[in-house]
């Protein structure tokens, strides 16, 4: 009998939560539950930081954030972070799965994977991600497939996200639910077309609606949340969406292409958990003398907070700033005293207590020690307040140490460092995989496809 063609189906679910998938919701997710029972599962430890752009790039490269050059949503430009812009696929410093497979004549379908805009030439098809500014010719490769998308969507443009960047945080909740389904239905429709009609070796597909709903509905599903809404009309919003995604996933699993030669993987870039408060870290840095604003902008503290505008910083008097909103990415600009400053903040930040005076489990990661390679644009440290149950606020001009939200909006939940991994391969591992790292996903895929380049990557394959 002719051996089955070896293929990999990688389904990425942004923010998929282990305690929901493996526990609370498992009995209501028959397709994911079946995959768990027939294969193996575990905790996928996210990158540091556990940001979508950072983690998905690591998952699809087999490299850590220091190696990929992606440690944030924002691209640090020049000596200072003065003119920040969103990172794009052009900022990635390492080859990704589709690059490695294209060189070997293997075909990839890559859909909605964070940090793929602008799309690059690959052996296959690419539709870019939620950071895509518009449905333009850079969002699809080959460009000719853009016409097919519009045909399949009856002339409508493709929805890359439920709103513009971070716009979901200020959406009406009913509209957010509606938009999440509308977007995800589009994504699955295009995915099924490519899955069925195209030949492929790797089918790599990410859906993000889960992440959007977690952020805004966690207080409606978690009785431990201090803003818990008892008997909320939205108490099943997350479960219903999980069930919808499970059903769509099941349609793929029942297809004849999912034969014994197909390795199936389900992964998430991070998990989610309730967020208690945010630490106003840049205000703390200013109070400690690490950050200064120009005199003409000092009225921030009279007129209320605003997003950190890098033109307002007095750079001659500033040695440290913090960016991001869940973890803190800390940049030290006084390089001569970097070690001394890092030692001081590593000692003082864990002394910050919670809003009720509770001690926080705060970690300060020195990126020069946790990354295999640290470029000059990487943060000097990444800070997790209470394992991210306390987020950070990089706005400036807040009153007090804590805030519920930022000028962008308020989240019910923030990113958790633990994501999901489920794996099914004929002859592969069974049962609990324990702790798995993001850098192990790409080498597992390459090895499953018979590509020896997996040996050059930073992670050890799971098979």
What the chain holds in terms of domains, given with CATH numbers, is 7-274+416-456 (3.40.720.10), 277-410 (3.30.1360)
Does 363 score more than 60 pLDDT?
A: yes
Q: Strand locations in 276-355, DSSP E?
A: 277-279, 320-323, 328-332
Which tokens hold the place of 178? 């509606």
First to last CA, the chain: 24
* Res 413 pLDDT > 70: yes
Residue 279 Ramachandran class (φ > 0 left, ψ -120 to 50 alpha, else beta): beta
Which of the pair, 411 or 446, is modelled with greater confidence?
446
Task: Dump strand ranges (E) for 168-230.
Answer: 202-207
Percent of the chain with pLDDT over 70: 97
Does 455 or 307 have the greater pLDDT score? 455
**pLDDT at residue 440 tops 60:** yes
Residue 79 pLDDT > 80:
no
Distance CA 175, CA 309 (A): 31
Using 50, 70 and 90 to split pLDDT, how confident is the model at 164?
confident
CA gap 228, 412 in Å, rounded: 9
Predicted TM-score (pTM) of the model is 0.96
Question: How do beta strands 431-437 and 40-45 pair?
Answer: parallel
- What distance in Å separates the CA atoms of residue 164 and residue 174, rounded to the nearest whole number? 17
Identify the residue with better confidence: 92 or 85.
Answer: 92
Nearest to 419 by CA among 113, 47, 24, 110: 47
- Residue 377's pLDDT band, with cuts at 50, 70 and 90, is confident
Q: Over pLDDT 90: what percentage of the chain? A: 84
Give the SS3 label for residue 273. strand
pLDDT at 286 over 60: yes
The residues, any chain, with a CB within 8 Å of residue 24's CB and separated by 6 or more, are: none
pLDDT at 166 over 70: yes
Task: Decide if pLDDT at 167 tops 90.
Answer: no
Taking CA atoms, 299 is separated from 155, 289, 396, in Å, by 49, 18, 11
What integer pLDDT is reported at residue 77 of this predicted model? 55
What mean pLDDT comes out for the span 276-305? 87
Q: What is the pLDDT of residue 80?
A: 59
Q: pLDDT value at position 82? A: 58
| pLDDT tens figures, 205-247 | 999 999 999 999 999 999 999 999 999 999 999 999 999 999 9
Residue with more model confidence, 44 or 296: 44
How would you class 157 by CB atoms within 10 Å of its CB: exposed for 0-12, middle for 13-18, buried for 19 or more? middle
Whole-number Å distance between alpha carbons of 158 and 187: 8
Q: What Cα–Cα distance (Å) separates residue 139 from each residue in 5, 102, 110, 399?
A: 30, 19, 12, 42
CA separation for the pair 91, 385 (Å, rounded):
28
pLDDT at site 121:
98
Residue 306: the pLDDT is 81
Give the confidence band of 386 by pLDDT, cuts at 50, 70, 90: very high
Cα-based distances in Å from 204 to 21, 357, 445? 20, 45, 11
From residue 294, give the alpha-carbon distance in Å to each of 84, 285, 312, 406.
19, 15, 6, 22
Query: Per-residue pLDDT for 340 more than 70?
Result: yes
pLDDT, residue 171, reads: 92
> Per-residue confidence at 83, pLDDT binned at 50, 70, 90?
low
**What's the mean pLDDT when you consider all of the chain?**
94
Res. 97 pLDDT band, cuts 50 70 90? very high
* Mean pLDDT (whole number) for 357-372: 97
User: 101-158, pLDDT tens digit by residue?
Assistant: 999 999 999 999 999 999 999 999 999 999 999 999 999 999 999 999 999 999 988 9
Question: Helix (H, G, I), strand (E, B), or coil: what is residue 256?
Answer: coil
Distance between CA 131 and CA 50 in Å, rounded? 17
Segment 409-435 mean pLDDT:
96
pLDDT of 301 > 80? The answer is no
Please spell the DSSP secondary structure of 53-121, one letter per residue: HHHHHHHTTT--HHHHT--SSEE--TTTTSS-EE--GGG--S--HHHHHHHTT--EEEES-SS-PSP--
- Tell me what the mean pLDDT of segment 292-306 comes to: 77
DSSP 325-343: SSSEEEEE--GGGHHHHHH
Q: 198-207, 384-393, 400-409: lowest mean pLDDT where?
A: 400-409
Q: Residues 370-375: what's their mean pLDDT?
A: 90
Residue 297 has pLDDT above 80, yes or no: no
Query: What mean pLDDT do residues 20-45 have?
Result: 98
């Amino acid at each position: 009998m002719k051996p089955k063609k070896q293929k990999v189906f990688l389904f990425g679910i942004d923010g998929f939560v282990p305690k929901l998938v493996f526990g609370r919701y498992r009995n209501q997710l028959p397709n994911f539950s079946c995959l768990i029972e027939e294969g193996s599962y575990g905790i996928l430890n996210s990158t540091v930081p556990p940001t979508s752009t950072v983690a998905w790039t690591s998952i699809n490269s087999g490299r850590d954030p220091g190696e990929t050059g992606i440690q944030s949503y924002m691209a640090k430009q020049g000596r200072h972070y003065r003119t920040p812009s969103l990172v794009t696929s052009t900022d990635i410093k390492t080859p990704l799965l589709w690059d490695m497979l294209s060189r070997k004549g293997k075909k990839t379908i890559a859909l909605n994977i964070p940090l793929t805009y602008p799309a690059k030439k690959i052996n296959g098809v690419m539709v870019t991600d939620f950071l895509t500014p518009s449905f333009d010719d850079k969002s699809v490769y080959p460009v000719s497939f853009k016409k097919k998308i519009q045909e399949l969507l009856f002339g409508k443009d493709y929805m890359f996200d439920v709103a513009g960047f971070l716009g979901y945080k200020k959406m009406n909740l009913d509209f957010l639910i509606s938009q999440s389904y509308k977007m995800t239905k589009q994504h699955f429709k295009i995915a099924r077309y490519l899955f069925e009609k195209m030949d492929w070796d790797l089918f790599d597909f990410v859906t993000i609606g889960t992440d959007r709903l977690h952020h805004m509905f966690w207080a409606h599903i978690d009785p431990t949340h201090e803003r818990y809404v008892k008997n909320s009309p939205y108490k099943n919003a997350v479960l219903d969406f999980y069930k919808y995604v499970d059903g769509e996933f099941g349609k793929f699993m029942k297809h004849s292409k999912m034969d014994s030669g197909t390795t199936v993987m389900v992964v998430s870039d991070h998990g989610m958990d309730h967020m208690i408060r945010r630490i106003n870290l840049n205000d703390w840095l200013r109070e400690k003398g690490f950050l200064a604003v120009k005199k003409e902008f000092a009225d921030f503290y009279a007129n209320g907070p605003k997003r950190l505008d890098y033109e307002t910083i007095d750079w001659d008097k500033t040695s440290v700033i913090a960016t991001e909103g869940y973890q803190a990415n800390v940049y030290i600009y006084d390089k001569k005293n970097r070690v001394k400053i890092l030692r001081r903040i590593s000692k003082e930040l864990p002394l910050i207590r919670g809003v009720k005076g509770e001690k926080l489990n705060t970690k300060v990661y020195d990126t020069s020690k946790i990354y295999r390679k640290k470029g000059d644009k990487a943060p000097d440290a990444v800070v997790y307040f209470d394992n991210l149950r306390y987020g950070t606020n990089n706005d400036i001009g807040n009153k007090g140490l804590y805030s519920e939200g930022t000028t962008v909006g308020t989240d019910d939940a923030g990113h958790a460092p633990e994501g999901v991994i489920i794996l099914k391969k004929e002859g592969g591992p069974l049962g609990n995989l324990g702790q798995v790292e993001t850098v192990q996903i790409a080498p597992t895929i390459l090895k499953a496809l018979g590509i020896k380049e997996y040996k050059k990557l930073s992670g050890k394959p799971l098979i």
